[in-house]
Structure 1
Amino acid sequence: MKTAMIFGTRPEAIKMAPLYKKMKEKGIEAKIIATAQHREMLDQVLELFEIKPDYDLNIMKKGQTLSELTSRLVTKIDEILKKEKFDNILVHGDTTSTFLGSLAAFYNKIPVGHVEAGLRTNDIYNPYPEEMNRRLTGTIAQYHFAPTQKAKENLLKENIDEKNITITGNTVIDALLWVKQNKQKDIEKIKEKYNIKDKKYILITMHRRENWGEPIESVMKAIKKYINENKEMHIVFPVHLNPVVRETVNKILGKEEKAILIDPVEYLEFIALMDASHYIMTDSGGIQEEAPSLGKPTLVLRKTTERPEAIKAGTAKLIGTEEKEVYQAMKEMETEQYEKMSKASNPFGDGTASEKIIQFLKNK
């Protein structure tokens, strides 16, 4: 079984790394085609997991549009697939690299396995373009590795054959547990580096396109109001490099003493920040899956989530981006709701997703 794994962003690399390592451990021939859709952030993860891509497309260009990225990706991936004879292609999640990797595989009549399949918000512009990327990938894929029962049900509603769906849990839990097991000393050093061991803080991340402008401004105003009223609470915010995000965040929180604004951090550092936080506020999808394994409640800064399992399990709460609602949600975390959320069990798996995916492919 000769497998290609196509990915290009940090979240994809985090979630595919444990699967790649498990394949190599079992003697399966696996090659990585890294699109480098996000160059620096991708490299950080590859270094952490000690992975070297077999192909590096280095596709990222400053200010490129989705259309430009799309046309360049499909051409470059197609060239590799025509040269190599892969038995299957594995892609992850919902990025442009995911969709274009699937499309190139289809053009070359290579079966596609979709890791983290079946997530849906049912709104093609929220998140954008991720919701449509994953739907289109699901249409092309032959094998669907659903992280949860809900994700499987979504696929069945779209007339995907049940024999081609398997529930695996999410590989991000595999990755998180690997890091906790292998890098604990590094995690403790990172907490000292950022001087956060003795601080009570909320970890913030916010970067999605649909939140640019007024939504992120409203959230920052709510945060500013809250930390000015709460004497002991700080925030730690690794601010995305996009100028649209940075300008808004710095304008509202830049002069706040209890707002620790830092540049984006490597995955290992982010785990340390999560581990030491009081709770998390985010518009990220992956964090909703990781946080419960560390006992961290999550307030989701979005109108919808493709991970309703977190809401149902009580590990996360969908709070939107309106200033009044965000502030009120932060106040509610001072009540028994915090304890309830921090003790809820993780619905996204137990760290054996990679093993289940490999077993499924072996049986095909």
Structure 2
Amino acid sequence: MKKVLLIFGTRPEAIKMCPLVNELKGRKGFETTVCVTGQHKEMLEQVLTVFDVKPDYNLAIMTKNQTLEGVTAKILNLLGEVLDEVKPDVILVHGDTTTSFVAALAGFYRQIPIGHVEAGLRTHDIYSPFPEEFNRQAVGLVAKYHFAPTEESAENLIAEGKNKDNIYVTGNTVVDAIKITISKEHSHEAIEWAKDSRLILLTAHRRESIGEPMRHMFRAIKRVIEEHPDCKVVYPIHMNPVVRQIAAEEFAGVDRIRLIEPLDVVDFHHFMDQSYLILTDSGGIQEEACSIGKPVLVMRDKTERSEGVKSGSLKLVGTDEERIYHEMKELLENPEEYQRMHHAKNPYGDGFASKYIADILEANL
């Protein structure tokens, strides 16, 4: 019986790790333990409930106005006790969060093998996105098993000198999650509000977007909506009070732009499924949208999901107001361009990434 410890702490991590948790728990050869750090609180708990995952440990580190330094120190101090009790044969972390970086570091200090789920994503700019690019590169330094979602991610790792024998292309576990969360029976009041219009789903929260870049995003969107009466925007707004203030100021008086509270993963995936177009500065949404054929305008200067750009599902538009305005208009007014993005091939796997990862661990542990 091999002991596997999965450590995660944010909503996006949970969406992508819970299918793997359940895959491992369904196999007799593993003793599977889940530790959440609570880097997110309510948003994390929503996802755990949807996937029926009950953590064995919850470090509950989230506090008001928490800093990166505080999060890092708390997790590192508390994880030691967990590792002493569980004594895992491998620690699995996901992606690029502070939780992932610190969990990998804690495992490294104990010389416990690290498995990195969603390994190899790169912008090659340590400050973009911040601090995610550092986090994922740092995890890659200590990981033994690199579970890359695409061939391009694997090539990034090989270029950095990682051992080819330890790199496995598995697809992305977010495709596994979407297979579970989307159903025909779902309904939501805000989807009903937009049902006679083309629904544009907006997310914007990234640290480097806050301030003037975010104002530019919102002004472009407002201009487009004012010119297209057949469109409505739903914005599940982040909890950050600065983001909320900017949105309230820029979208004031526009009745076809609706701000709603953050959605649980089931609701959010259905909003994506019902949308005509998605605008985001997020990372994981880029993969999720590719999986259901929705065109995405990525409001960032760089993306680590370049496969989606190459496939044609994503378009990188930065944070310039005029660029966002014109790219939105193009997709709303040019059916050929819209259909080209809508029918682009999904580069992120077949929905069995969790199975492939579990198979690899069975063969190697």
Say yes or no: TM over 0.5: yes
Superposed CA deviations along residues 222-256 of structure 1, whole A, max 9, x for unmatched, are 01111011111111111111011111111011321
Matches within 5 A, 1:52-71: 52-71=54-73
Does the 8 Å contact 2:96/2:132 carry over to 1?
yes
Question: Which of 176, 183, 208 lines up with 1:174 in the alignment?
Answer: 176
* Superposition pairs of residues 204-283 of structure 1, within 5 angstroms: 204-283=202-281
Instruction: Tell whether the 8 Å contact from 2:147 to 2:167 is kept in structure 1 after alignment.
Output: yes
Question: More displaced, 149-158 or 286-295?
Answer: 286-295
Q: Matches of 1:184 and 1:141 in 2, distance apart?
A: 40
User: Which amino acid is 2:270 matched to?
Assistant: A
Q: Determine the C-alpha separation between the residues in 2 that align with 1:281 and 1:147.
A: 23
1:93 CA drift (Å): 0.3
Counterpart CA distance in 1 for 2:308 and 2:102 is 29
Amino acid at match of 1:345: K
Residue 303 of structure 2 is matched in structure 1 by 305
Q: Is the 8 A contact 1:254 1:261 kept in 2?
A: no
Q: Does 1:328 align with 2:323?
A: no
Match of 1:136 in 2: 138
The one-letter amino acid of 1:82's match is D
Amino acid in structure 2 at the alignment position of 1:298 = V
Match of 1:124 in 2: 126
Question: Are 1:200 and 2:198 an aligned pair?
Answer: yes
Secondary structure in 2 aligned to 1:60?
A: coil
Equivalent in the alignment of 1:108 = 110
Q: Partner of 1:97 in structure 2?
A: 99
User: What is the Cα deviation at residue 84 of structure 1?
Assistant: 1.7
Q: Which segment drifts farther, 258-267 or 90-99? A: 258-267
Q: Which residue of 1 aligns with 2:167?
A: 165
RMSD: 1.1
Q: Distance in 2 between matches of 1:281 and 1:84?
A: 42
The partner residue of 1:77 within 69, 76, 79 is 79
Give the secondary-structure state (helix, strand or coil) at the position aligned to 2:134.
helix
Amino acid at match of 2:299: L
SS at match of 1:37: coil
Secondary structure of 2:35's aligned partner: strand
Partners of 2:190 and 2:69 in 1: CA distance = 43
What SS is found at the alignment partner of 2:357? helix
CA offset digits 1:258-288 (Å, max 9, x no partner): 1011111111110111111101000111111
Distance 1:191 1:173 in 2: 26
What is the aligned partner in structure 1 of residue 14 from structure 2?
13
Q: Give the C-alpha shift of residue 192 in structure 1.
A: 6.8
SS in 2 for 1:363: helix
CA displacement 1:142-164 (0-9 Å, x = unmatched): 11000000000000011000000
Deviation by residue 1:156-178 (Cα, 9 ceiling, x = unmatched): 01100000000000000000111
Aligned to 1:351: 351
1:194-226 Cα deviation digits (max 9, x unpaired)? 533333121000000010000000011101111
Aligned length: 360
State whether residues 191 and 197 of structure 1, in contact with CA within 8 Å, keep that contact through their aligned partners in structure 2: no
Opposite residue 164 of structure 1, the aligned amino acid is: N
Percent identity of the aligned residues? 49
Give distance in 2, aligned partners of 1:199 and 1:233.
Answer: 5
Q: Residues 293 and 346 of structure 1 are in contact (CA less than 8 Å); yes or no, is this contact kept in structure 2?
A: yes
8 Å Cα contact 1:196/1:276 also seen in 2: no
Label 1:153 to 1:193 Cα distance change in 2 as closer, same or farther (>3 A): closer
Give, in whole Å, the separation in 1 of the partners of 2:262 and 2:169: 32
**Equivalent-residue separation in structure 2 for 1:311 and 1:76 (angstroms):** 39
Q: TM-score, normalised by structure 1?
A: 0.97
Aligned partner of 2:338 in structure 1 is: 338
Shift of 1:193: 6.4
CA distance in 2, matches of 1:64, 1:102: 21
* Structure 2: unaligned runs, 5 residues or longer: none
Which whole-Å CA distance do the structure 2 matches of 1:74 and 1:342 have between them? 43
Q: Which letter maps to 1:274? A: M
**Residues 7-47 of structure 1: CA distance to partner in whole angstroms, max 9, x if unpaired?**
00000000001011111112221110000100010000000
Instruction: Map residues 285-304 of structure 1 onto 2, 5 A cutoff.
Output: 285-304=283-302
> Aligned pair in 2 of structure 1 residues 226, 193: CA closer, same or farther (>3 Å)?
closer
Distance 1:246-1:44 versus aligned 2 partners, 3 A rule: same
